[in-house]
């Protein structure tokens, strides 16, 4: 039966389906954003019901939400590995290459998601595309942002310093850095672009997630579709 709860319902179904994959004893990477938040709340409900897990949050916000949901927390340095990471995405193609960083959390997200035995993206259908063309968030050291802007321009990208909405000036990440949203138009070779962005001095991390996502759960109006 179709429901009328819109995008939030789609996100909730995706998040809750991913949370069902968490098993007793798991160490779980807890992603950032409104879709991952549904998974965090569902894991919190399961913890209330007796599930034994430890969560590794990917951001200040994920940590706060998970703590409020009653999930025991660890930092990445305190665990030997991560069994399952659940995180949102700004765009994902049918090969499960994703662009992340809409919440400026992609540096820690990538570290946690890449450390996981299994990484599941949760998304609503507006995130699924045939070809990636969304701007790529690039976290940069504050002292290096103009140098990185020039390097991005040399890769035919158009960088825009992300500005804060409830503060004058730029967005400052949880790591104290800046974000350049870099438009490259249609990204036909995300692997090549990722390889060119990573070594630019001053780049802390970019939001292209290539070869990291195992499965995507895409919530719909009446269920969840799976991309592998
Ligand atoms: O990458 C992210 C944060 O850095 C988010 O996962 C991404 O922006 C998706 O967010 P939402 O689920 O709210 O649409």
Pocket of ligand 1, candidates 59, 90, 128: which has the most ligand atoms within 8 Å of its Cβ, to mutate? 90
pLDDT of residue 143: 98
Q: What's residue 5's pLDDT?
A: 87
Q: Considering the domain boundaries, does residue 89 fall inside one? A: yes
Name residues of the chain where pLDDT drops below 50.
none
Q: For ligand 1, is residue 34 a contact (CB within 6 Å)? A: yes
Domain count, the chain: 2
Q: Are residues 18 and 104 in the same domain?
A: yes
pLDDT value, residue 3: 64
Question: Out of 16, 20, 78, 109, which one is annotated catalytic?
Answer: 109
User: Is 44 labelled as part of a ligand binding site?
Assistant: no
Please tell me the predicted confidence (pLDDT) of residue 34: 98
ipTM: 0.99
CA 179, 91, 75, 34 dihedral sign is positive
Catalytic, 109? Answer: yes
What is the domain range of residue 180?
A: 136-202
Residues 116 and 36 in one domain: yes
Q: Is residue 1 part of a domain?
A: no
pTM, rounded to two decimals: 0.97
The protein residue whose alpha carbon is closest to atom 6 in ligand 1 is 88
| Residue 89 and residue 74 share a domain | yes
81 Cα: distance to centroid of ligand 1 (angstroms): 23
Question: Same domain for 110 and 222?
Answer: yes
- Quick check: is 19 in a domain? yes
CA–centroid distance, 139 to ligand 1, in Å, is: 15
70 labelled ligand-binding: no
CATH number of the domain encompassing residue 75: 3.40.50.1360
Q: What's residue 83's pLDDT?
A: 98
**What pLDDT score does 63 carry?**
98
Closest Cα to atom 3 of ligand 1: 103
CATH value at residue 169: 3.30.70.260
């Amino acid at each position: 039966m179709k429901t009328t709860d819109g995008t939030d319902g789609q996100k909730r179904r995706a998040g809750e389906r991913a949370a069902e994959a968490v098993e007793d004893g798991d160490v779980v990477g807890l992603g950032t954003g409104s879709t991952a938040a549904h998974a965090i709340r569902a894991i919190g409900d399961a913890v209330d019901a007796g599930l034994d897990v430890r969560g590794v949050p990917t951001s200040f916000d994920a940590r706060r939400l998970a703590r409020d949901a009653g999930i025991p927390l660890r930092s990445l340095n305190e665990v030997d590995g991560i069994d399952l990471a659940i995180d949102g995405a700004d765009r994902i193609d049918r090969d499960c290459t994703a662009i992340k960083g809409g919440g400026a959390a992609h540096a820690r997200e990538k570290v946690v998601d890449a450390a996981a035995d299994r990484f599941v993206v949760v998304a609503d259908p507006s995130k699924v595309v045939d070809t990636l063309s969304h701007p790529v968030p690039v976290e940069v050291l504050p002292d290096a942002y103009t140098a990185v802007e020039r390097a991005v321009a040399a890769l035919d990208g158009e960088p825009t310093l992300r500005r804060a909405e409830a503060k004058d000036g730029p967005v400052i990440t949880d790591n104290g850095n800046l974000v350049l949203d870099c438009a490259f138009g249609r990204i036909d070779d995300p692997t090549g672009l990722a390889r060119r962005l990573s070594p630019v001095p001053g780049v802390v991390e970019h939001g292209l997630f290539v070869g990291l996502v195992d499965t995507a759960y895409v919530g719909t109006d009446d269920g969840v579709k799976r991309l592998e």
